[in-house]
Amino acid sequence: MTTFGPLLDVRPLLPRERRALLDLLGSLDPPDWRRATACPGWTVHDVVAHVVNDYVRRLAISRDGHESPEFDDGETLPEYIARINEEFVRAARQCSPRVLVDLLAHLGPELDALWATRDLDAPADLDVSWAATDRPSPVWLDLAREYTEFWVHQQQVRDAVSRPGADEPELFGPVIDAFLRALPSALRVENRPEGTVVRFDVRGEAGGSWHAVREGGRWLVDPGEPPDEPAARVAMDQDTLWRLATRGISVENARRRSEMHGDRTLTDAATTLLAIVR
């Protein structure tokens, strides 16, 4: 077992997720692009522009070696990310929906080609801070984080326009798997004896079981059934899990939708699971 768990290769899924997004966007009427989303202050148009920003930013950094804008004085990482995201979204309001769709369709394959050349076990260009801050992330986790970003924003658009989809297990399952890699970070302040186990069950066709084990003074995560009886156990449905991990719902609301057994301090910590930068 490792801090981040076993390798998760999402590269074959990136074109499929993007195709689902492009099909969705092609079906929207002009008023749909103006609908509000779960992202405060952002319409559907703004969320799609943000995905374009994600594509542009990763190509600039990981393909071209372009340096990101500097932090403002005293700016924290969440403040920095919020600022540069908002700057791009505001500028992109000059773009028509067709231009945004064309950019996604063009830049997406450029990203696919870039990721195909990467060693998944090599150090990532951008560490996944919600998984760990004291050790470098591998490329595969960086790409899994990007996949969850794209999938979540697609679901936010679908919620806004009342269109289900992109939630089949093949596309949704890896999102849940990636998000559970944040479990050790959620438990990090809880010091327990070696071998202590926390089990996390996600109900639904895309779900499964994950567990964190205390080893070597830190928590390690792995999919599947735990080797020993857990000291704490959390179970929630798959819709609750992804919304909790992205704070589409509050921790308190997620707990009300969940079953929690055993060590209450550990179950409370596990249900603070967060897979975005805030």
Rounded to an integer, the average pLDDT of 134-141 is 95
Q: To 5 degrees, how large is the angle CA 12–CA 236–CA 43?
A: 60
Supply the pLDDT for residue 3.
Answer: 83
Mean per-residue pLDDT over the chain, rounded: 96
Contacts of 118 (CB under 8 A, 6+ apart): 139, 143
For residue range 82-134, list pLDDT tens digits in order: 999 999 999 999 999 999 999 999 999 999 999 999 999 999 999 999 999 89
Q: Which residue has the higher pLDDT, 270 or 69?
A: 270
Rounded to an integer, the average pLDDT of 15-40 is 98
Kindly give the pairing relationship between strand 232-237 and strand 218-223.
unpaired
Structure confidence at residue 52 as a pLDDT band (50, 70, 90): very high
Do 245 and 215 meet the contact criterion of CB atoms below 8 Å apart?
A: no
CA dist 4 and 23 (Å) reads 33
Do 200 and 183 meet the contact criterion of CB atoms below 8 Å apart?
A: yes
The torsion angles phi and psi of 221, rounded to 5 degrees, stand at: -120, 150
Supply the pLDDT for residue 2.
Answer: 76
Percent of the chain with pLDDT over 90: 94
The torsion angles phi and psi of 51, rounded to 5 degrees, stand at: -65, -40
Helix, strand or coil for residue 19? helix
Tokens of 269: 């910590």
Flag whether pLDDT at 255 surpasses 90. yes
Flag whether pLDDT at 228 surpasses 90. no
Supply the pLDDT for residue 278.
Answer: 72
Do 236 and 257 meet the contact criterion of CB atoms below 8 Å apart?
A: yes
Supply the pLDDT for residue 245.
Answer: 98
The helix/strand count (H/E) of the chain reads as: 11, 5
Residue where the block lists tokens 């492009």: 22
Which amino acid makes up residue 136? P
Flag whether pLDDT at 1 surpasses 80. no
Give strand pairing partners of 234.
200, 260
Do 131 and 137 meet the contact criterion of CB atoms below 8 Å apart?
A: yes
The pTM (predicted TM-score) of the whole model is 0.95
Rounded to an integer, the average pLDDT of 152-165 is 97
Which amino acid makes up residue 228? D
Supply the pLDDT for residue 93.
Answer: 98
Do 122 and 139 meet the contact criterion of CB atoms below 8 Å apart?
A: yes
Q: Which of 66-75, 178-187, 236-245 has the lowest mean pLDDT?
A: 66-75
Do 245 and 276 meet the contact criterion of CB atoms below 8 Å apart?
A: yes
